[in-house]
Amino acid sequence: MAKIVLLEKIHASAAQLLNNEGIAEIVQLPTALQANELKKALEGADAVGIRSATHITAEVLQALPQLRAIGCFCIGTNQVDLTAAAAHGVPVFNAPFSNTRSVAELVIAESILLLRRIPEKNVRTHRGQWDKTAQGAYEVRNKLLGIIGYGNIGAQVGILAESVGMRVCYYDVESKLPLGNAKPMATMEALLAEADIVTLHVPGGSATERLITGERLALMKPSAVLLNASRGGVVDIDALNAALREGRLAGAALDVFPKEPRNDKEEFISPLRGLDNVILTPHIGGSTEEAQENIGREVADKLARFLKAGTTRWAVNFPEIPHLEKQTKSRVLNVHRNEPGVIARMNADFAQAGLNIVAQHLQTRGPIGYVITDVDDGISTALLQKLRSEPATIRCELI
């Protein structure tokens, strides 16, 4: 039976589900690991569960030919080289909605706190000062919230914001259905210039790296605040630091950073430390009991279904085959380069071995093909070797 390594304090609901599914060996480690330690920890593992701090690069995948699946117990998957994973025949799963609400609630809370200048007042009161003034403190009612990235989280933030009386506008690279009274903006620049609160909800990765440059920050009103609970690389942190220290922005709330500690022993280093009008949180946008418990179950279920039946429904990088109960003696999972003749050759190999195919399901995604074949007899080692040695085969497993 399969072995799974779960890193980064994944919720106990994951191990519980995997246990119930009969996954034999579950190793749980509390932190993220760097490449070399990671390779060691994953020796012999069929699957790994990570959150946002473990980076699975092409080099790590190359060193782990036995690794069959990756579960990201979060929304973002930019910490995994998705293309390299698919090229190694490794599907990657995530939990696309389970912490959406938690992030949205944090954004609304921080918007109110920043506009009321609570971070500064909190620090001053702790220092014994009694700064009782309304100056520079505003209600969020009627203020314009600008959402950059109007996907699941952005749209949820917009709904919650309207329910406390904010006006909402958004900018997205794709055309999106405006929910409630949200107003789409033609450009990000227009949104930055008009909004009182700007909140970022784009995915991480090269396309959004330093999306918020010094030039774009300069478009914001000096009374406006910036929130980032997406990925640290999305904001030019030095430019933001300069804007805040020079009073060109009224405040900020950051949950994600270009460099984040991998565990609670490492010091958090940032130029923004010590700024009283900035809320800094340790990447906990999705860290609520509700979200983590749901994520644990959801991703563990996807991993278990893959390991037990080859199901790849909801994989983010891989051809998707829905759940099909295994009702025959043998099931062969074949990942191959998507080119002509592969299935014909494979089926000829089954026929030559005298095996009858009971069911066969094929899906392709770009350069990768994935086929599940059920046969009503045992598969010999010789046949498995033959299937594995077909020139287009990337991976071939028997379950």
Ligand X SMILES: O=C(O)CCC(=O)C(=O)O
Ligand Y SMILES: NC(=O)C1=CN([C@@H]2O[C@H](COP(=O)(O)OP(=O)(O)OC[C@H]3O[C@@H](n4cnc5c(N)ncnc54)[C@H](O)[C@@H]3O)[C@@H](O)[C@H]2O)C=CC1
Residues involved in catalysis: 231, 260, 283
Least Cβ distance, residue 296 to ligand Y (angstroms): 15
- Please, which residue, 234 or 332, has the CB nearer to ligand Y? 234
- Please, which residue, 287 or 317, has the CB nearer to ligand X? 287
Residue 182 makes contact with ligand X by CB under 6 A: no
- Cα-based distances in Å from 136 to 114, 197, 269: 10, 14, 29
- Please, which residue, 150 or 318, has the CB nearer to ligand Y? 150
Q: Of 389, 284, 250, 296, which Cα lies nearest the Cα of 94?
A: 296
Q: Which residue in the set 91, 119, 154, 251 belongs to the binding site for ligand Y (CB under 6 A)?
A: 154
Residue 208 makes contact with ligand Y by CB under 6 A: yes
Residue 294 makes contact with ligand X by CB under 6 A: no
Residue 103 makes contact with ligand Y by CB under 6 A: yes
- Using CB under 6 A, count the residues that bind ligand Y: 31
x-or-dash pattern for ligand Y, window 159-188, by CB under 6 A?
------------xxxx--------------
Query: How far does Cα 324 stand from its chain's mean position?
Result: 26
Chain position whose Cβ is nearest to ligand Y: 151
Least Cβ distance, residue 99 to ligand X (angstroms): 5
Q: Which residue in the set 99, 111, 199, 208 belongs to the binding site for ligand X (CB under 6 A)?
A: 99
- For the chain, the three-class secondary structure string (H helix, E strand, C coil) is CCEEEECCCCCHHHHHHHHHCCCCEEEECCCCCCHHHHHHHCCCCCEEEECCCCCECHHHHHCCCCCCEEEECCCCCCCECHHHHHHCCCCEECCCCCCHHHHHHHHHHHHHHHHCCHHHHHHHHHCCCCCCCCCCCCCCCCCEEEEECCCHHHHHHHHHHHHCCCEEEEECCCCCCCCCCCEECCCHHHHHHHCCEEEECCCCCHHHCCCECHHHHHCCCCCCEEEECCCHHHECHHHHHHHHHCCCCCEEEECCCCCCCCCCCCCCCCCCCCCCCEEECCCCCCCCHHHHHHHHHHHHHHHHHHHHHCCCCCCCCCCCCCCCCCCCCEEEEEEEECCCCHHHHHHHHHHHCCCCEEEEEEEEECCEEEEEEEECCCCCHHHHHHHHHCCCEEEEEEC
Query: Which option in ligand X, ligand Y, none does residue 152 bind, with CB closer than 5 to 8 A by kind?
Result: ligand Y
Q: Which residue in the set 45, 47, 52, 114 belongs to the binding site for ligand X (CB under 6 A)?
A: 52
List phi, psi (to 5°) of 363: -140, 150
Query: Which option in ligand Y, ligand X, none does residue 169 bind, with CB closer than 5 to 8 A by kind?
Result: none
Q: Which stretch binds ligand Y (CB under 6 A): 137-145, 226-234, 312-320, 369-377?
A: 226-234
Q: Which of residues 65-84 bind ligand Y (CB under 6 A)?
A: 75-76
Q: Which residue in the set 101, 216, 231, 302 belongs to the binding site for ligand Y (CB under 6 A)?
A: 231
Q: Which residue in the set 149, 251, 286, 310 belongs to the binding site for ligand X (CB under 6 A)?
A: 286
Residue 74 makes contact with ligand X by CB under 6 A: yes
Q: Which residue in the set 3, 11, 51, 121 belongs to the binding site for ligand X (CB under 6 A)?
A: 51
Residue 287 makes contact with ligand X by CB under 6 A: yes
Residue 318 makes contact with ligand Y by CB under 6 A: no
Least Cβ distance, residue 288 to ligand X (angstroms): 10
Least Cβ distance, residue 261 to ligand X (angstroms): 12
Q: Which stretch binds ligand X (CB under 6 A): 26-34, 69-77, 129-137, 352-360?
A: 69-77
Residue 296 makes contact with ligand X by CB under 6 A: no
Residues 227/197, Cβ–Cβ less than 8 Å: yes
Residue 264 tokens read as 């609670």
Residue 167 makes contact with ligand X by CB under 6 A: no
- Cα-based distances in Å from 291 to 26, 100, 110, 229: 22, 8, 19, 16
Q: Which residues bind ligand X (CB under 6 A)?
A: 51-52, 74-76, 99, 286-287
Task: Give residues in contact with ligand Y (CB under 6 A).
Answer: 75-76, 99-100, 103, 148-154, 171-174, 201-204, 207-208, 211, 229-231, 255-256, 283, 285-286
